[in-house]
C-alpha cells in the first residue's frame, strides 16, 4: 500500500489508500452502477476522465476480459470505497492509478452539488498533497481536447460479419463492442470505420445504414461525423447512440449543451412519449441535446426531462441517448436494434417501389 492524494477543484485535498501508483489528472465523474465495473472501465466514453464508483465494493465477481467493451481501460484513474485485489491487479497491468479507502458517498455528493470537476491524483510511497495539487493545476491549464476521437477510434476499416442481411457503416467515435455484437446478432455485417471517415469512403462502401456510435467529450469536436450525417441524411437510414444522437441532432439544426454532472449508471428511467411506458436504462454521457432541430423528441428522462430518444420518420432517422446494448443490463430497450434494422427493410421496399 502507498500514500494517495486527490486534489479537487473545490480546494480540498483528500487522503486515500493508494492501490496502483502513478500521477494523473482529468474530469472527476461518478457512476451509480453496482455491477458492470469491467464494462465501465473499458467504455471509451470515459476517456480522459477519472471514474468514481458510488457502489462501495468494486471487484466482487472478478475480472474477465470477455466482458470488456474495448481493448483497454479508458478512465485515467479509478476511485472506490474498496477495490478487490483482482481489479487492482488489472488496473496495475494497464498502468492506471487507483485509490480506495475514501468516502465516495461524500465525493459523489460534492459532484452532484457542484458539478463534474477537474482533479489531480498522486499515488506512491513518496506522494505528497503538493503532487496532487500540481496535477490539478496542470489539468486546469489544459485546453479542451478537440481531437479526442483519435484516441478511441478504429485506425482502419474493420468488418465484423453477422450474416449479410444488412451492411452497416458504424462510424467509430468510441464505439462499445456490444453495439457491434447487437447488430451482428440480428444478421447485419458491421463495418467499423474511423471517426474521420470521409463521405467518399462511405460512398465506396454503399451501406444500407449509417450508424454514429457513442464516444467521449463534446459532440462539437466530431466535425467529420457530423459532415457525414449532413451528406447522407435522407439518402441512407441513420441511427445513433449517446454521442451519436448528439452529433446527428447538431447536423440537423439542433444544439447540444454540457450537463452539470451527466447521466452515468444503470438505473436511469426513460419514458416513451407515445406509449407512456417507462424503461430502465444504462447511460454514460456529460452532454445532452437541447434543441433537437429537425428531429422529434420521442423519449425523455423521467428525472430531468432531457431528450433520450429522437426520430424523424420522413428522413429515416432514429437515435437514443442511452445504451440499449448495455451489458450487464438492463436490457429493457434492446428492441432499438430491431427498429434500426427495420428502417433498412423499409428503405429497401421504398427503393424497390420507386424502381418499379
Q: Is the pLDDT of residue 354 over 70?
A: no
In a shared domain, residues 176 and 319:
yes
pLDDT tens profile 60-70: 999 999 999 99
In a shared domain, residues 194 and 334:
yes
**What is the three-class DSSP state of 352?**
helix
Pick the residue with more confidence: 156 or 145? Answer: 156
Assess whether 325 carries a catalytic annotation: yes
Q: Which residues of 194-208 are buried (b: 16+ CB within 10 A; e: fewer)?
A: bbbbeeeebeebebb
Q: Is the pLDDT of residue 1 over 80?
A: no
In a shared domain, residues 251 and 201:
yes
Assess whether 139 carries a catalytic annotation: no
Mean pLDDT of 222-238: 98
In a shared domain, residues 256 and 345:
yes
So what's the pLDDT on residue 159? Answer: 98
**Residue 58: which pLDDT band, with cuts at 50, 70 and 90?**
very high
Annotated binding-site members for L-glutamine: 45, 215, 217, 243, 246, 284, 286-287
In a shared domain, residues 340 and 300:
yes
Label residue 140 exposed, middle or buried (CB < 10 Å: 0-12, 13-18, 19+). exposed
Residue of 48, 191, 242, 311 with catalytic role: 242
So what's the pLDDT on residue 348? Answer: 62
Q: Percentage of the chain with pLDDT > 90?
A: 92
Residue of 9, 27, 325, 327 with catalytic role: 325
Mean pLDDT of 40-69: 97
pLDDT tens profile 313-336: 999 999 999 999 998 888 889 999
Assess whether 323 carries a catalytic annotation: yes
Which of 112, 141, 170 finishes a domain? 141
So what's the pLDDT on residue 330? Answer: 85
pLDDT, averaged across the chain = 95
So what's the pLDDT on residue 328? Answer: 82
- Beta partners for residue 30, in sequence order: 52
**Residue 345: which pLDDT band, with cuts at 50, 70 and 90?**
confident
So what's the pLDDT on residue 213? Answer: 98
This prediction has a pTM of 0.96
Residue of 191, 263, 285, 323 with catalytic role: 323
In a shared domain, residues 137 and 156:
no
Contact call for residues 37 and 53 (beta carbons, < 8 A)? yes
pLDDT tens profile 250-280: 999 999 999 999 999 999 999 999 999 999 9
Q: Is the pLDDT of residue 351 over 80?
A: no
Whichever domain contains 270, its CATH number is: 3.40.50.880
In a shared domain, residues 185 and 208:
yes
Annotated binding-site members: 45, 215, 217, 243, 246, 284, 286-287
Mean pLDDT of 45-52: 97
Q: Which residues contact 225 (CB under 8 A, 6 or more apart)?
A: 149, 171, 173, 195, 212, 244, 247
In a shared domain, residues 243 and 105:
no
Mean pLDDT of 20-37: 96
* Domain residue limits at 316: 149-355
Mean pLDDT of 190-206: 97
Whichever domain contains 127, its CATH number is: 3.50.30.20
Q: Is the pLDDT of residue 13 over 90?
A: yes
Mean pLDDT of 80-106: 98
Q: How far apart are CA 185 and CA 168, in angstroms?
A: 13
In a shared domain, residues 196 and 332:
yes
Residue 351, φ and ψ in degrees, nearest 5: -65, -40
So what's the pLDDT on residue 145? Answer: 66
Least Cα distance to 110 among 67, 165, 52 occurs for: 52
So what's the pLDDT on residue 350? Answer: 52
In a shared domain, residues 271 and 134:
no
Which of 124, 141, 158 finishes a domain? 141
How many structural domains compose the chain? 2
In a shared domain, residues 161 and 270:
yes
In a shared domain, residues 97 and 167:
no
Which of 141, 161, 184 finishes a domain? 141
Mean pLDDT of 304-319: 98
Amino acid at each position: 500500500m502507498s500514500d494517495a492524494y486527490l486534489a479537487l477543484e473545490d480546494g480540498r485535498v483528500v487522503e486515500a489508500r493508494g492501490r496502483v501508483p502513478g500521477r494523473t489528472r482529468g474530469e472527476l465523474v461518478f457512476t451509480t452502477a453496482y455491477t458492470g465495473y469491467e464494462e465501465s472501465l473499458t467504455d471509451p466514453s470515459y476517456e480522459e476522465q477519472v471514474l468514481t464508483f458510488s457502489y462501495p465494493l468494486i471487484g466482487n465477481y472478478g475480472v474477465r476480459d470477455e466482458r470488456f467493451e474495448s481493448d483497454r481501460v479508458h478512465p485515467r484513474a479509478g476511485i472506490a470505497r474498496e477495490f478487490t485485489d483482482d481489479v487492482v491487479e488489472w488496473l496495475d497491468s494497464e498502468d492506471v492509478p487507483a485509490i480506495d479507502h475514501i468516502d465516495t458517498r461524500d465525493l459523489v455528493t460534492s459532484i452532484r452539488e457542484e458539478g463534474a470537476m477537474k482533479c489531480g491524483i498522486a499515488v506512491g510511497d513518496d506522494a505528497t498533497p503538493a503532487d496532487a495539487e500540481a496535477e490539478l493545476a496542470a489539468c486546469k491549464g489544459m485546453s479542451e481536447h478537440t481531437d479526442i476521437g483519435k484516441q478511441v477510434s478504429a485506425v482502419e476499416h474493420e468488418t465484423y460479419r453477422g450474416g449479410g442481411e444488412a451492411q452497416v457503416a458504424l462510424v467509430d467515435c468510441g464505439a462499445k463492442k456490444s453495439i457491434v455484437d447487437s447488430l451482428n446478432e440480428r444478421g447485419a455485417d458491421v463495418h467499423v470505420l474511423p471517426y474521420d471517415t470521409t463521405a467518399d469512403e462511405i460512398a465506396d462502401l454503399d451501406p444500407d445504414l449509417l450508424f454514429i456510435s457513442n464516444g467521449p467529450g463534446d459532440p462539437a469536436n466530431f466535425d467529420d461525423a457530423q459532415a457525414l450525417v449532413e451528406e447522407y441524411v435522407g439518402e441512407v437510414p441513420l441511427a445513433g447512440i449517446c454521442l451519436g444522437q448528439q452529433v446527428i441532432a447538431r447536423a440537423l439544426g439542433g444544439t447540444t449543451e454540457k450537463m452539470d454532472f451527466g447521466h452515468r449508471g444503470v438505473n436511469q428511467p426513460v419514458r416513451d412519449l407515445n406509449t407512456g411506458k417507462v424503461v430502465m436504462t444504462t447511460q454514460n454521457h456529460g452532454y445532452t441535446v437541447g434543441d433537437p432541430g429537425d428531429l422529434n423528441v420521442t423519449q425523455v428522462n423521467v428525472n430531468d426531462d432531457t431528450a433520450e430518444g429522437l426520430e424523424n420518420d420522413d428522413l429515416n432517422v432514429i437515435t437514443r441517448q442511452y445504451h440499449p446494448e448495455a451489458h450487464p443490463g438492463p436490457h429493457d430497450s434492446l428492441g432499438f436494434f430491431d427498429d434500426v434494422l427495420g428502417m433498412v427493410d423499409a428503405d429497401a421496399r421504398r427503393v424497390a417501389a420507386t424502381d418499379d
